[in-house]
């Protein structure tokens, strides 16, 4: 469009395309302004995407660092220590197992040992030879 306006400038002397758009130069300038704005948007989008990618990479590094820091602090201080609260960490709570679950686990262990014929030291000594 701009090239055509530049070529035919002499033929398009009295344009009536709106406020301030009465010459070929004015119309060409408006098109050029739009192209410049589109290029600026594209450049900003590229920078924005690069910034997002950089932040995502940093987020992954921070997750690893946080896990290592938690491990170190829990090993340095007692796991149930109040000192962990100073670092914003909650002491690890033991899992509460219901009596029913514990009973099922014991039964399952006994059944597994029976099926595999696994015996302890004292049980083996009781077997007559």
100-126: average pLDDT:
89
User: What range does the domain containing 115 cover?
Assistant: 2-126
CA gap 19, 76 in Å, rounded: 74
Predicted pLDDT at 50: 97
Burial readout 58-93 (b: 16 or more C-beta within 10 A, e: otherwise): eeeeeeeeeeeeeeebbeebeeeeeebeeeebeeee
Task: Report pLDDT digits (tens) over 52-110.
Answer: 999 999 999 999 999 999 888 888 887 667 788 888 888 777 789 999 999 999 999 99
Total tally of structural domains belonging to the chain:
1
List C-alpha distances in Å: 86 to 92, 93, 129: 15, 17, 63
Give the CA angle between residues 63, 56, 39 to the nearest 5°.
170
Predicted pLDDT at 6: 57
Closest CA to 73 of 85, 61, 63, 62: 85
């Amino acid at each position: 469009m701009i090239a055509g306006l530049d070529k035919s400038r002499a033929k398009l002397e009295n344009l009536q395309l709106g406020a301030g758009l009465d010459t070929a130069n004015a119309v060409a300038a408006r098109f050029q302004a739009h192209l410049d704005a589109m290029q600026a948007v594209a450049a900003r989008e590229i920078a924005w995407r690069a910034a997002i990618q950089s932040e995502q990479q940093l987020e992954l590094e921070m997750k690893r660092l946080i896990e290592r820091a938690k491990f170190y602090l829990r090993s340095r201080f007692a796991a149930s220590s109040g000192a962990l609260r100073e670092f914003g960490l909650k002491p690890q709570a033991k899992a509460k197992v219901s009596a029913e679950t514990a009973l099922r686990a014991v039964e399952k262990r006994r059944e597994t040992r029976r099926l595999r014929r696994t015996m302890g030291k004292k049980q083996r000594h009781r077997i007559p030879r």
